[in-house]
Structure 1
Amino acid sequence: MKKTLLIFLVLFHLTVFAQKTNTEVFESENYSIVMPDTWKITNDDGIVNIFPTNQIGAVTISEYHDLELPKAETKKFILALYNSSEDEKKIKSSGGKKGYTEYFYEYLDEKDQLLWITKVFQKNKDLYIISINCENKYWNGNYMKVFNETFDSFKIKK
């Protein structure tokens, strides 16, 4: 009983006093994303990169409008982004929010030891690509958690 109480108190203490990362919201005309307030952001001709100061990886967002990409070709397009020879079945797709079809793909670049996680949102002629790239050796613990939280906070406004 005493051991159980001690374990409970330790876990409670860790939960209450755990350090919470301060965040800020990046807003564009068409989407928003929540990121750690210590991270940097660049916008190169509409391609947004959000990354920690040590630059071990990034969350990248690009958006395309008036793009003629048939849904039947989207999985091939995603594989082509990484010069991947993997089967299209590796890409998961589902009906997403607001009428978007959502595609999900994970890829490990063996040569550069980079992990890529990509979501593509497609609706009519609109396409949003959001991806994480992170050096594989850092993909654990806090980096994995913070990258995923940022990645998962992406919201399309319209």
Structure 2
Amino acid sequence: MMKRTVFLFALLISLGLFGQKSDTKVFESENYSLTMPDTWKATNDEGIVNIFPTNQIGAITISEYHDLELPKAETKKFILALYNSSDDEKKIKTGSGKRGYTEYFYEYFDEKENLFWITKVFQKSKEIYIVSINCQKKYWNGNYMKVFNETFDSFKIKNRILL
């Protein structure tokens, strides 16, 4: 009985130590928010936000456009053009997102630069948000892939009141 109690106690302590999540912080803009590891950095270069680990093995990039005339029929072509990709438009998944946005999802591997790209585009009327991950192939596994995806998936568009 004593061995079982000691084993359970050790198991609970190890789960507490190893199961802890890293510390995070929220990146806020006027129109969206995103939760990122507190050790990562964020830059804003003329409205294009880059969020990245200090070793710069990749980044999450966010661009927003609020008066862009892009017909939905052309959005998939636009996404492919971002990467000069010859992929078929069928490779881009489309769905209905929250708050009336149409969501587009595209994964691309740039063989020349050896980078993985994952992109989400949120489109509603003339509003478009482009959120993408780029990460060097040799780091796109294990913890980096997990942390990039968690950060990427935490992107939330705020409710905007248009005057």
Q: Would the TM-score normalized by the shorter structure come out above 0.5?
A: yes
Q: Rate the CA distance shift 1:53–1:13 in 2: closer, same or farther, 3 A.
A: same
2:85 aligned residue: 84
1:105 matched residue in structure 2: 106
Cα distance between partner residues in 1 of 2:88 and 2:141: 27
The runs of 5 or more residues in structure 2 that have no matched partner are: none
Q: Structure 1, residues 71-93: CA drift from partner, whole Å, max 9, x if none?
A: 00000000000000000000000
Q: Quote the sequence identity (%).
A: 76
Q: What CA deviation, in whole Å up to 9, does each residue of 1:73-127 have, x standing for no partner? A: 0000000000000000000000000000000000000111100000000000000
Q: In structure 1, list runs of 5 or more residues that go unmatched.
A: none
Alpha-carbon separation, structure 2, partners of 1:10 and 1:87: 53
Q: What is the TM-score of this pair, normalised by structure 1?
A: 0.92
Letter of the 2:16 counterpart: V
Shift of 1:17: 1.2
Report the counterpart of residue 63 of structure 1 in structure 2: 64
Using the alignment, how far apart are the partners of 2:50 and 2:6 within structure 1? 44
Q: Which runs of 4+ in 1 moved over 6 A?
A: 5-11
Look up the match of 1:20: 21
Structure 2 CA distance for partners of 1:72 and 1:53, relative to 1, 3 Å: same
TM-score normalized by the length of structure 2: 0.89
Partner of 2:42: 41
Aligned length: 154
Which SS does the other structure have where 1:149 is aligned? helix
CA RMSD, aligned part only? Answer: 1.8
